[in-house]
Amino acid sequence: MPHRCYDRSPAHAGTFDGTAWTPGTGLGRRIGKEDAVSVHTAAGFDRPVTTATFRARKSASQRIAMITAYDVSSARLVDAAGVDAILVGDSMGMTVLGYPSTLQVTMDDMLCATAAVARGTSHALVIGDMPFMSYQASPEDAMRNAGAFLAAGAGAVKLEGGAHMADTVRRLVAAGIPVMGHLGLTPQSVNQLGGYKVQGKDAAAALALLDDCRMLQDAGAFGIVLECIPAELAAIASAELAIPTIGIGAGVGCDGEVQVFHDMLGLGGDFTPRHAKRYAELGAAVTAAVAAYADDVRRKAFPGEEQSTHLDPAVLEEVRATRAGTVRRIAGE
Ligand code: KIV
């Protein structure tokens, strides 16, 4: 008799048959008993992912799969696929809200998205991305805003920056708020960095990044996103740290990977960042489907009998007779 995996919603529940886990909507990978610390094993298949899972994965050399989502439907889909963590990224500014960068994203934008993602997630760790100026000005701002993310349903927050953020990270962690760091290409500092460029390319920058990693770990961060840095540098950071590194444009030497939902699924137009791989062409599929719908509407091919309901013939007769009388009265007959 298969066990229901972690998911309380029958609509996208996975199953565990004693050997392998099968995701509910057919999108994910199968995970076997050999996954010693997997949340999908017979011993613990119904446990949601926590920051403790992150630590255990690092110790067991098991990679962590993370993806962004910004609403309930995408959260349900990626959660059913069995990802370990869902980042409600401030990349939402560009992918969903049409802003030119992440700098325009507000706390209100992020909390609304985080609450929706949390409502669609039953297994993965939901990480809320702290937007520009929600944590930089003071640790008090950071505390209040990070707390709001947890109140909205996130299990952790992510913020950008190294040594200068260590004190803030320490305070958040002391207050019970799990924090993921973010180093390398930090998009909220795009004006300081002079563009979206690979970081840590010379020895001084590489060594500074390794120092930043260490400071975030010492401050209590449970993981660090490494964005757009050379693969060798990411591998050194991953080997030196006890906490997992999550790469994006940082090679395969990290302890896990994060990708942006829209980049992976072909929903971001023609542009694909160098670090992304398209696993589907959903944008083209959606446009073709909506064009077919519009064509059907114009040809009166939709809605059809299947999508229609009908009046009882006696009711129809009464309505017609009454309307006919009304029309005669208006015409003065
Ligand atoms: O906002 C985001 O999606 C991110 C990832 C690119 C790491 O920060």
What are the residue numbers of the active site? 227
Give me ligand 1 centre to Cα 90, in Å.
Answer: 6
Domain residue ranges of the chain, discontinuous segments joined by +: 48-264, 287-331
Map residue 21 onto helix, strand or coil.
Answer: strand
Query: Pocket of ligand 1, candidates 91, 105, 227, 254: which has the most ligand atoms within 8 Å of its Cβ, to mutate?
Result: 91
Question: What is the DSSP secondary structure assignment for residue 103, as one 8-state letter?
Answer: G
**Distance separating alpha carbons of residues 310 and 78, to the nearest angstrom:** 39
Give me ligand 1 centre to Cα 61, in Å.
Answer: 23
Residue 88: name the closest of 48, 55, 115, 53 by CA. Answer: 115
48-264 adopts what CATH topology? TIM Barrel (3.20.20)
Q: Which residue has a Cα nearest atom 2 of ligand 1?
A: 89
Q: Which atom of ligand 1 is nearest to the CA of 258?
A: 7
Residue 157: name the closest of 185, 118, 200 by CA. Answer: 118
Calculate the CA 228 to chain-centre distance. 19
Q: Which atom of ligand 1 is nearest to the CA of 91?
A: 1
Instruction: Decide the pairing of beta strands 179-184 and 156-158.
Output: parallel
Tens of pLDDT, residue by residue, the chain (333 residues): 333 333 333 333 344 343 343 444 433 333 333 343 545 443 334 589 999 999 999 999 999 999 999 999 999 999 999 999 999 999 999 999 999 999 999 999 999 999 999 999 999 999 999 999 999 999 999 999 999 999 999 999 999 999 999 999 999 999 999 999 999 999 999 999 999 999 999 999 999 999 999 999 999 999 999 999 999 999 999 999 999 999 999 999 999 999 999 999 999 988 899 999 999 999 999 999 999 999 999 999 999 999 999 999 999 999 999 999 887 788 887
Give me ligand 1 centre to Cα 279, in Å.
Answer: 18
Q: Name residues contacting ligand 1 (CB within 6 A).
A: 68, 87, 89-91, 129, 225, 227, 248, 258, 260
Question: What is the DSSP secondary structure assignment for residue 333, as one 8-state letter?
Answer: -
Outline where the chain has alpha helix (H).
51-59, 72-80, 92-95, 107-119, 139-152, 166-174, 190-193, 203-219, 231-240, 261-264, 282-298, 313-331
Give me ligand 1 centre to Cα 138, in Å.
Answer: 22
Map residue 223 onto helix, strand or coil.
Answer: strand
